Structure 1
Amino acid sequence: MVNKDWDILKPTLSVPVLNSIKKQGFKAMTPIQAAVIPLLLSCKDVVAEAVTGSGKTLAFVVPMLEMLRKKEKDSTLRKDFVYAVIISPTRELATQIYEVIKQFLLEPEVAHISLCCLVGGRPVEADVENVKKGAHIVVCTPGRLQDLLAEQKNLNLPGRIRDLELLILDEADRLLDLGFNNTLTTILQYLPRQRRTGLFSATQTKELQDLVRAGLRNPVLVSVKEKSSISTPVALQNYYIVVEPQDKFLFLLNFIRNRQTMKGLFFLPTCACVDYWADVLPVVLTDLKIFAIHGKMKLKRAKILEKFRGAESAILLCTDLMARGLDIPEVEWVIQWEPPTNPAALVHRVGRTARGGAAGCSLIPLLPTEDAYVPFIKVNQKVELQDWSQSSDQIKITDKLRDKVLKILHNQQMSDRGILDKGMRAFVSHIRAYSKHECNILLQLKELPLGHIATSYGLLKLPLMPEIKEEHKTQFIGPNEKIDFNSIPYKDKQKEASRLQKLQEYKKTGIWPSKKKKKIAKTQAWEQTKLLKQVKKEKRKKRKETKTKMVKEGKNNKKRKTVTQEELEELAADVALIKKLKKRKINDDQFDNAFEIGK
């Protein structure tokens, strides 16, 4: 399917919208745009599947603008109503879509259409005020939208969306992966049934089909593939290289050094890995800007992403937070520390480059025990990886280079205990993440040479963890000199003062003072946590109402009868149980059974 000129849509698109498209520099429609736009304009529900970077955003933005332009022309566009809602999985993607739409609304003919971005990371009151000012188009994340619909009664958002005409679920499979199933179900209950719905994704899953059945009416399925047997853009070259585990960092370091003007994304397994390498890489890559971003950076993310977008050459260290939907201009390379936990994530990661027909490359280093991943990913995700060792760029790793880099890494950790701690956390979180690989038949934790991997991290010592065996200790290469770990200081003065105080106490008592260990709750989806909080809130409200009723009826004025001996004995037994629990003579389950909690 070839790209078509926008003039084909002249009978269905108004002149202002067409002019706005051309002013933005979009010369021709991509296949997904040519297929989806006429369907949405003719009031059809659409499920669109296309490779990443194929122009899905414009496929729903254009019909949305045309719909609002028509309402404005007919004088039925009310200032206090919401007519289009676009839901995306992350605040970064929502902000990107918001910026795209904002550029279109600069045209005088559509300047009266109001736009609002509702995402987390800022006070909900600010979003309430923005919606009250007017928001014909709302771009949002699901959690914030649910909060505004269900909790902010003074806003009356359910009343504002009663004439909603278009709902878009962007990167819908990712919405479900992040645990927003119940949230989306709640949101759909507030929306009018007579609407157009577009569901956009790069991959189709069973969960996605369930959502389609729940939220769409006889949708048209549009599946646009490239003219090739692969699932990534044709202009994208994907490479792999087999390296020894202790040399992985050295290889990637030299690879980046050989491309000092490159702009690339560097995907790491965990947030802790991003934090550690963000401290380490600037010391060994002094001529290249290094940025870092992950999901635990709540307030900094937007600023970091903006700085990276504006940089001519830079590396952005990131997690899979950056793997979906984001369009960053001029990204030439996508580098990965190791295969992603979910095989499908590889398609989305590499799709951050070679967007909109531009050329791009990706590279993934594999350990000798992981070479079976190459044929697996070709069959499983239709991604063909070419061997980088066959290229003209032969990167050599010498003993001299290894010793030099290791010394730099060791010195960094010995000069700042904070970096030492980050390195330990990064390594441990990396190994934990590796153990959760979906394709763990190929990528087995027991085959990993953990000592060599710890060497590549430049650790001063191996952490205490059950996965570390004797064979791993013999593989590990640490500093040549003996280190007194108690003498390694924090650069942070407050942390160092606290550590020195604890160290003095340790020398006196032989026991390191620490906070009491808190009971670690089982990990729950945030949606379940929110539901439990709501249940507790309702119970408190019911108790308060019962108490108020009793006061009015005078039932609480009755004097309590004398406490019997049997009641005193029961109370004493209960107190004894509580003391046993505090002293850890019994566990929580035994305590619950004794009190018959939950029965």
Structure 2
Amino acid sequence: MTTFAELGLNQLLLTALEEAGHTAPTPIQAQAIPPALSGRDVLGIAQTGTGKTAAFALPILHRLAELGGRPPRGGCRVLVLSPTRELASQIAESFKRYGKHMGYSVATVFGGVGAVPQQRALARGVDVLVATPGRLLDHMGTRHARLDHTEVLVLDEADQMLDQGFFPAINKIVAQVPKQRTTMFFSATMPPAIAKLADAMLTDPVKVEVTPVATTAERVNQKVIILDGADKRRILTGILRGEGVGRVLVFARTKHGADKIVKNLEGDGLQANAIHGNKGQSQRERALAEFKSGRAPILVATDIAARGIDVPEVTHVIQHELPEVPETYVHRIGRTARAGASGQAIALVAPDEVGLLRAIERTTRQKIDAEDQRQNPTIPLNDRATPTRPQRGRGGQPQQQHRAPKREQQGHKGGRHEQGERHEPRAQAPRPPQEQRSYVKPFGDGTRRRPTQGQGQGQGQRGFMARGR
């Protein structure tokens, strides 16, 4: 199959695709569209940038036209779940672009914006609803959203849903969707927790798999710069002022780190914006608009916030810090070299990140060209093993790593964290040996007296522990 016409799509879809300049399907589209057109469940393993949005949007729009019907009031015919608001907006725009001659309604539901307009759209009923799990669950709790007439369910970026702890919310949502439905499930990786969820959601699915996550794009020219941590600002600024640099996506490990990078770049006379979970929706939309227009051609993002950023002509992806999960490196550099173009991927690696670099090279099975720009390159690098995947706790959420990040990489205390963010553990003073401890025992007169050595130790200890230190 070499054209969309050979896939048997609705003529109105073919017209929209032709107007958008799309003539040949990508591998994931060529494999996923035919079974989806016949109503089969689909399990797709594909990373960002492979064209998977069209792989589910096109057959869904085709089947809506084929089956006919109207959306139920307060509900939707198609539900697409997305991990981030940026990706939700991107998916919704794709549905509108492909279905612009078909007249189907498309709405988004996510946090960071007012709930009332979303409630009004739901009240009228929508053909396609693209939502993040948290806000959709809120609307379901207030009875502004119903899913009992949903015909098609799509779960996109399932591995990112897992990393953000969305699985409990997803299970509650799926429980309200009719069992007689078509389900499409997409994930870049397939760890056991994802496979278990897919098995529970899908019925006799057709499995399609393209571009394994451990494979980096061939058109991306990768480079590593080994440097002293204090030189990252100087070298980053020098790269950004280089010849041939257009739109640049800079990845930071934390929200706080992203803001600091932007502040430094602005201090060096460069126009940049940050996008992360602490930014309001209007701020995020403005940052993306200025990035696309070239007014602020440098966008500093955390991994989670970067989901859904599909901007053409990104010439460079720069990793200010390496990720702790090797597959994330592949996701990051996939933001350049899209639509047949080439791109540059540069990683700024401090000596204490070399272990992460080696883990990435083992995962991708390739050696990345490295340039050592340290002031004293004769000092041997430490290649010791470092954690490559966060351990998951209850609910599928990553547990905190014991490896403490640098201070500038920490997130805001007390807030929700994005993927890869860690807090530095509080230092604990060494406790004295058991036989040397003394405990303050309360007395009836309100005073607190310390017992003499060896007197009342056992009783004091039991009372102290009973109160719960």
Note if 1:184 corresponds to 2:184: no
Aligned to 2:276: 294
Match for 1:84: what amino acid?
V
Q: Does 1:201 align with 2:194?
A: no
- Aligned partner letter, 2:260: Y
What is the root-mean-square deviation in Å for CA atoms of aligned residues? 3.5
Contact 2:315 2:336 in 1 (8 A): yes
* Candidates 132, 150, 175, aligned match of 1:164: 150
Q: Which runs of 5+ in 2 are unaligned?
A: 376-384, 391-400, 419-442, 448-461
Aligned partner of 2:5 in structure 1 is 7
| Equivalent of 1:32 in 15, 28, 32 | 28
Give 1:175's match in structure 2, choosing from 161, 165, 171. Answer: 161
Which residue number in structure 1 is paired with residue 316 of structure 2?
333
Q: What is the match of residue 19 of structure 2?
A: 23
One-letter identity of the residue aligned with 1:50 = A
- Aligned position for 1:138: 129
**Is 1:52 matched with 2:45?**
no
| Cα deviation code 1:268-307 (max 9, x no counterpart) | 12111122222221121x2x42111111112321222222
**1:115-130 residue pairs with structure 2 within 5 A?**
115-130=106-121
| Conserved? CA contact 1:4–1:30, under 8 Å | no
Q: CA separation of 1:186/1:345 partners in 2, compared to 1, >3 Å: closer, same or farther?
A: same
Amino acid in structure 1 at the alignment position of 2:18 = K
Pick from 224, 234, 248 the counterpart of residue 232 of structure 2: 248
SS at match of 2:258: helix
Displacement of 1:51: 3.4
Residue number in structure 2 paired with 1:361? 344
Decide whether aligned partners of structure 1 residues 317 and 523 sit closer, same or farther in structure 2, where only a CA change above 3 A counts: closer
What SS class does the counterpart of residue 83 from structure 2 fall into? coil
Query: By how many angstroms is 1:35 displaced?
Result: 0.3
Moved >6 Å (runs of 4+): 443-446, 520-525, 573-577, 589-592
> CA shift at 1:259, angstroms?
3.6
Q: SS at 2:178's partner residue? A: coil
Residue type of the alignment partner of 1:4:
T
User: Aligned partners of 1:306 and 1:575: how far apart in 2?
Assistant: 69
Give yes or no for contact 1:85–1:137 (8 Å, CA) kept in 2: yes
Cα separation, partners in 2 of 1:313 and 1:303, compared to 1, 3 Å? closer
Structure 1 counterpart SS, 2:274: strand
| 8 Å Cα contact 1:117/1:139 also seen in 2 | yes
1:340 CA displacement: 0.9
Identity between Structure 1 and Structure 2 (%): 31
Looking at structure 1, the residues matched to 334 and 96 of structure 2 have their Cα atoms a distance apart, in angstroms, of 24
2:44/2:207 contact within 8 Å kept: yes
Contact 2:49 2:335 in 1 (8 A): yes
Larger radius of gyration: 1
Q: 1:148 aligns with which of 139, 144, 148?
A: 139
Where 1:340 maps in the other structure, the secondary structure is coil
Residues 592, 193 of structure 1: CA spacing in aligned structure 2 closer, same or farther, 3 A cutoff? farther
Distance apart, 1:369 and its partner CA = 4.8
Displacement of 1:366 in angstroms is: 1.7
Q: Which of the two has greater helix per residue? A: 1
- What is the match of residue 212 of structure 1? 198
Question: For 2:314, what is the secondary structure of its paired residue?
Answer: coil
Partner of 1:351: 334
Change (3 A) 1:590 1:130: farther
1:309 corresponds to:
292
Letter in 1 for 2:327: A
User: 1:233: how far off?
Assistant: 2.0
Shift of 1:131: 1.1
Name the CA distance, whole Å, in 2 between partners of 1:100 and 1:54: 14
Residue 261 of structure 2 aligns with which residue?
A: 277
Paired with 1:436 and 1:378, the residues of 2 have a C-alpha distance of: 13
Return closer, same or farther for 1:592/1:281 CA change in 2, 3 Å cut-off.
same
TM-score, scaled to structure 1: 0.62
1:167-201 CA-partner distances (Å, limit 9, x unpaired) = 11111110111001100110011000111111112
Q: Any unmatched runs of 5+ in structure 1? A: 390-394, 398-434, 458-519, 526-572, 578-588
CA contact (8 A) 1:52 1:233 kept: no
Q: Distance in 1 between matches of 2:445 and 2:195?
A: 54
Shift, 1:5, TM fit: 1.1
SS at 1:332 equivalent? strand
Kept in 1, the 8 Å contact 2:252–2:320? The answer is yes
Cα gap change, 1:70/1:8 in structure 2, threshold over 3 Å: closer, same or farther? Answer: same
Quick check: 1:54–1:356 contact (8 Å CA) kept in 2? no
Measure the CA separation in 1 of the matches of 2:79 and 2:67.
Answer: 16
Identify if the C-alpha distance between structure 1 residues 95 and 360 changes in structure 2 by more than 3 Å, giving closer, same or farther: same
- CA deviations 1:312-355 (Å, max 9, x no partner) are 66111121123434311111111011211222211111111112
Q: Is the 8 A contact 2:217 2:337 kept in 1?
A: yes
Checking the alignment, whether the CA contact within 8 Å between 1:89 and 1:171 is kept in structure 2 is yes
Are the structure 2 counterparts of residues 210 and 311 from structure 1 closer, same or farther at C-alpha, using a change threshold of 3 Å? same
> What secondary structure, in the 3-state scheme, does the structure 2 residue paired with 1:64 have?
helix
> 1:443-458 to 2 correspondence within 5 Å?
none
Equivalenced residue count is 408
**Distance in 2 of aligned mates of 1:259 and 1:295:** 32
2:402 and 2:196 map into 1 onto residues whose CA distance is 32
SS in 2 for 1:234: coil
TM-score, length basis structure 2: 0.78
Q: Read off the aligned partner of 1:293 and give its amino acid letter.
A: I
Deviations 1:397-450 (A, max 9, x none): 9xxxxxxxxxxxxxxxxxxxxxxxxxxxxxxxxxxxxx995479xx9969x9x8
Matches of 1:269 and 1:246 in 2, distance apart? 16
Contact 2:214/2:363 (CA < 8 Å) preserved in 1?
no
Decide whether aligned partners of structure 1 residues 192 and 305 sit closer, same or farther in structure 2, where only a CA change above 3 A counts. Answer: same
Question: Does the alignment pair 1:65 with 2:61?
Answer: yes
Shift of 1:86: 0.6
On the 8 A contact 2:337/2:343 being kept in 1, the answer is yes
Conserved? CA contact 1:334–1:349, under 8 Å:
yes
